[in-house]
């Protein structure tokens, strides 16, 4: 996402050392993702289940942070009304790079049940912030959250830092 995704050729002049360092850095970023939870509606309830003992989101190395400055990705779960859209945008801008976005549920993917007649609902959070992973469902199963998290980790692991490398499978 952002500056880190450069869609050029892999390993132009870096070689194996930079490749290994890059792998290490990506490993650190992908395995320790602190999240800012933006819970808005019913999907946030499922999010609680996902955080609780049976599904244990912390297994993926995620720690909830309340401050956007310390968060690595923002999880938008639920109906993004126009009123909250402003707040999401502000919070997203306050986050420190590298930052990611996971959009959870039909509502934040594309407005969900309100996409046609919702006078008050943003038709997809990707209209204001760049979304990395879309998790479908209304609400998604807790496992689906974790699957989305794994997709995000995969994506981070493919990011280029020193070398320009193709983002496999994301385009």
Distance CA 158, CA 110 (A): 26
Q: What is the DSSP letter of 119?
A: T
Segment contacting ligand SF4 by CB under 6 A, of 8-16, 100-108, 126-134, 149-157: 100-108
Which entry of another protein, ligand SF4, none binds 144, CB below 5 to 8 A by partner kind?
Answer: another protein
Q: Which of 91, 92, 105, 156 binds ligand SF4 (CB under 6 A)?
A: 105
Q: Using the rule CB under 8 A, is 46 a contact of another protein?
A: no
Distance CA 80, CA 85 (A): 6
Q: Using the rule CB under 6 A, is 48 a contact of ligand SF4?
A: no
Q: Using the rule CB under 8 A, is 10 a contact of another protein?
A: no
What are the tokens at 78? 């639920």
Q: Using the rule CB under 6 A, is 106 a contact of ligand SF4?
A: yes
Whole-Å CA distances, 85 to 14, 26, 43, 56, 142: 41, 30, 16, 28, 24
Point out which residues bind ligand SF4 (CB under 6 A). 41-43, 78-79, 105-107, 112-113, 138-139
């Amino acid at each position: 996402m952002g500056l880190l995704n450069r869609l050029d050729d892999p390993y132009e002049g870096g070689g194996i050392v930079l490749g290994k360092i890059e792998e290490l850095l990506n490993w650190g970023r992908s395995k320790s993702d602190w999240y800012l939870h933006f819970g808005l509606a019913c999907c946030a309830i499922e999010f609680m289940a996902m955080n609780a003992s049976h599904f244990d989101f912390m297994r993926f190395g995620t720690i909830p942070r309340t401050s956007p400055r310390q968060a690595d990705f923002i999880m938008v779960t639920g109906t993004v009304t126009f009123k909250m859209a402003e707040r999401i945008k502000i919070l997203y801008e306050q986050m420190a790079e590298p930052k990611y976005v996971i959009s959870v549920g039909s509502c934040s993917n594309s407005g969900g049940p309100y996409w046609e007649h919702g006078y008050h609902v943003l038709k997809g959070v990707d209209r204001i912030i760049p979304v990395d992973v879309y998790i479908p469902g209304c609400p998604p199963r807790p496992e689906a959250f974790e699957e989305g998290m794994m997709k995000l980790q995969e994506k981070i692991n493919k990011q280029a830092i020193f070398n320009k490398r193709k983002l496999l499978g994301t385009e």
